[in-house]
Chain A
Amino acid sequence: MNLNDLTSPFDEHGRCLPIGLGAPALAQSRRYFQITPPQIDYAAIHARTTKHLGDTGLASDEFVRRCEALMQSLRDDPQTTNITRGIAVPFLLPQAEHADYGEALEQHYIPAVEHAFAKTFPQYRFTNHDKAGLSGKLSVAANSRHERLLQAMQQGPVVGYYFPCLSEYSLPAALERVQSLPEQFLMAGGYDTSAALVGTPGLLQRTDGYPPLLWLAAVQADKPLAGYFYEAYGYNLTFNRRPHFGQAAEYWNSGLTVLG
């Protein structure tokens, strides 16, 4: 199929269609591993982000205005409107510049997820299973467009939406796919995915089925065929690393980020 023939690169559930790929992805989804659509409470997301990631200097009503404007622009464009039918999670990141991606993720963003999760679900547990440490190990994956997020963070607070819509892709396929999407779509990595979970800590909680694992696909690990991810364990939340070997799995999701 020619990519230019498609009205939208997203299906009616918001899944980014895996077409034109050389790397593995499941052509069709039986929609078995799903995220329950979260209730979006902008004020609560703003408050949690301020508490756990630091004051962004952005007022709550301005955060709401920019989020809604971003979603409206996606809805208004026939090419992108379908992505708004899927899971969409607003997030807020404070201005920051980090010399070491892994160190910042480990020392700042993952603990923020832990604290937000613990505050929201004191009866459950967040566990970082990666005991080897992240310092000096992570870089931005080539062709992920993720560096644009980092540049935006250097300029000031960042408002965005996280879409875990690259479902059932291998990591190489996710990176391949983002290159053929409109320019506003960036591959999600460690900071934006963590910010989405800080604002919406129950994103991966599900009682009637299993949610997918969320890869940080824009982040290149020290070994080329390994990656880092957030994953539910029952009602609990975990961070971990595993080899992926460039394979596709029904359980695996990567995310796109759009900045507003």
Chain B
Amino acid sequence: MTTMTNETQPNKLTPEEQAKREGLRVRKPYVAAKLAAISEMEERGEISPIIRLEKSYLCNFQCTHCSAEYYMDRHQKKVFKIEDARRKIDLDDIRELSRQADELGLARFVITGGEPLVMKDFDAVVEAIDPDKHYIITDTNGWFLDLATAKHLKSIGVEKVQLSLDSMIEAEHDAFRNKPGSYKKVMRAIEASVEAGLNLLLSTVLVKGRAKSSEFLEMCKFATERNIGLYVSYAKPTGSCTDHPEFVIEKEDADILRELEKDYNVFTHMTPSYGSFKGCITVKGIITVTSTFEVTPCPYIDFSLGNLRETPLKEVLARGMRNPWLGPYRPDCIIGEDPQFIKLHTEKTKGVTQLPVPWGQGFSDSDTLIG
């Protein structure tokens, strides 16, 4: 499942967005102050990535393009006939991660998975992150997100929901998600989230050619008319998509999307937002913490930058920033568009039964762009 914040084009802060920010300032002044400080941090050369937390990979769906499928117990049992014996994170680990992140000025957590709303300890995870210290977002496929659940999420301190919608054509969405009825549940979840006062973001996966389709244009219109941000994630040749190289986009698809950003409330992780121009957000704008406390530089790169049981978050982030693939500013998606990196990633993850590939075997401090 992909993750992004609801950010729009620079200099286009809507009155609604201003009101949301003011509301946050009143309810959670410490979080609002940290969010407001991000641009100053960037000016000083510091980073403030969103932390995607994959506490559990349990999921009630089996999507065609899932980036987390290879991390799931069901995949390891079914395909590799193994059980993952690695130590999993617990609530104390999450509290420690929250503390280290706060110390570094990081301000945003996304609970992802798997499907977060099937986690029995979801509320405890939110509490461990601490909604008064961090802006908390949850990903969801929407299946369980009725009005009562949406109100409950709001009440425990979740600020935003990121809801997956993969086609405006009901049958296509349900087929892509391999879950009949899921489109209707997404539509219900949209209404529930809005009514509960949650910030809402729709997320969708862009496969090759989709940017030109009337269906995609309809989705852009749908989101814009409802004043909902539509976050578009490129299909990457990882996870379940490893078997679908035909999904991987070309630059033309990315450029069509960039044109649509002018007229619709649609964006990718590389869209300039609020004056911030990160380009590819690996480490600079996002990290993923897996269920085994490994840190990867984006949801789709299965190379670890270190394990937080052995290495402090600060050093893990520094490793990422000094890596020539990840640290420097670049305008394209490294795992979605750079053929050389895609090849390297495919070769190093092939046949690996337990992801991510550990630090030193995938990424290391001796990495170069050539050779």
Output the least CB separation between A259 and chain B (Å).
31
The interface bits of chain A over 204-231 (1 if a CB of B lies within 8 angstroms of the residue's CB, else 0) are 0011111001000000000001100001
Number of interface residues of B (CB under 8 A): 27
The interface bits of chain A over 237-260 (1 if a CB of B lies within 8 angstroms of the residue's CB, else 0) are 000101101011111100000000
Give Cα A234 to B272, complex, Å.
Answer: 12
- B258 x A251 contact (CB < 8 A): no
Interface residues in B204-230 (C-beta closer than 8 Å to A): none
Q: Does A125 contact B (CB under 8 A)?
A: yes
- The answer, among A125, A206, A234, A250, for a CB contact under 8 Å with B324, is A250
- B331 x A210 contact (CB < 8 A): yes
How many residue pairs at the A-B interface have CB separations less than 8 Å? 68
Q: Does B123 contact A (CB under 8 A)?
A: no
* Interface-side segment among A26-34, A109-117, A138-146: A26-34
List of B residues within 8 angstroms of A240 by Cβ: 277
Task: Provide the main secondary structure of the chain B interface.
Answer: loop
The interface bits of chain B over 338-371 (1 if a CB of A lies within 8 angstroms of the residue's CB, else 0) are 1010000000000000000000000000000110
- B258 x A249 contact (CB < 8 A): no
- B251 x A243 contact (CB < 8 A): no
Give Cα A234 to B251, complex, Å.
Answer: 9
Q: Does A236 contact B (CB under 8 A)?
A: yes
Q: Does B259 contact A (CB under 8 A)?
A: yes
- A125 x B262 contact (CB < 8 A): yes
Output the least CB separation between B246 and chain A (Å).
19
Give Cα A247 to B43, complex, Å.
Answer: 14
Interface residues on A, range: 20 to 34
List of A residues within 8 angstroms of B11 by Cβ: 131
- B42 x A231 contact (CB < 8 A): no
List of B residues within 8 angstroms of A252 by Cβ: 328-329
List of B residues within 8 angstroms of A210 by Cβ: 251, 330-332
Selected A-B contacts with CB under 8 Å, 5 pairs:
A26-B369, A129-B277, A234-B259, A243-B45, A252-B328
Q: Does B252 contact A (CB under 8 A)?
A: yes
Q: Does B59 contact A (CB under 8 A)?
A: no
List of A residues within 8 angstroms of B277 by Cβ: 129, 240, 242
Q: Does B15 contact A (CB under 8 A)?
A: no
Q: Does B255 contact A (CB under 8 A)?
A: yes
Q: Does B235 contact A (CB under 8 A)?
A: no
Q: Does B107 contact A (CB under 8 A)?
A: no
Interfacial residues, chain B to chain A (CB-CB below 8 A): 10-11, 42-43, 45, 251-252, 254-255, 258-259, 262, 272, 275, 277, 279, 324, 327-332, 338, 340, 369-370
Output the least CB separation between B130 and chain A (Å).
31
- B45 x A30 contact (CB < 8 A): no
- B340 x A30 contact (CB < 8 A): yes
Interface centre among B275, B330, B370 (most CB of A within 10 A): B330
List of A residues within 8 angstroms of B370 by Cβ: 28, 30
- A248 x B328 contact (CB < 8 A): yes
- A250 x B369 contact (CB < 8 A): yes
Chain A, Cβ-Cβ closest to B279: A251
Interface residues in A192-206 (C-beta closer than 8 Å to B): 206
Chain A, Cβ-Cβ closest to B258: A234
List of B residues within 8 angstroms of A226 by Cβ: 43
Give Cα A245 to B11, complex, Å.
Answer: 25
Give Cα A245 to B322, complex, Å.
Answer: 13
Output the least CB separation between A231 and chain B (Å).
7
Output the least CB separation between A70 and chain B (Å).
32
List of A residues within 8 angstroms of B340 by Cβ: 30, 32
Give Cα A244 to B286, complex, Å.
Answer: 20
Given the known inter-chain contacts A129-B277, A209-B251, please indicate yes or no for A231 contacting B331, CB distance below 8 A.
yes
- The answer, among B251, B329, B331, for a CB contact under 8 Å with A242, is B329
- A251 x B331 contact (CB < 8 A): yes
List of B residues within 8 angstroms of A28 by Cβ: 370
List of A residues within 8 angstroms of B330 by Cβ: 33, 210, 249-251
- B328 x A249 contact (CB < 8 A): yes
Give Cα A124 to B173, complex, Å.
Answer: 32
Output the least CB separation between B151 and chain A (Å).
40
- A243 x B255 contact (CB < 8 A): no
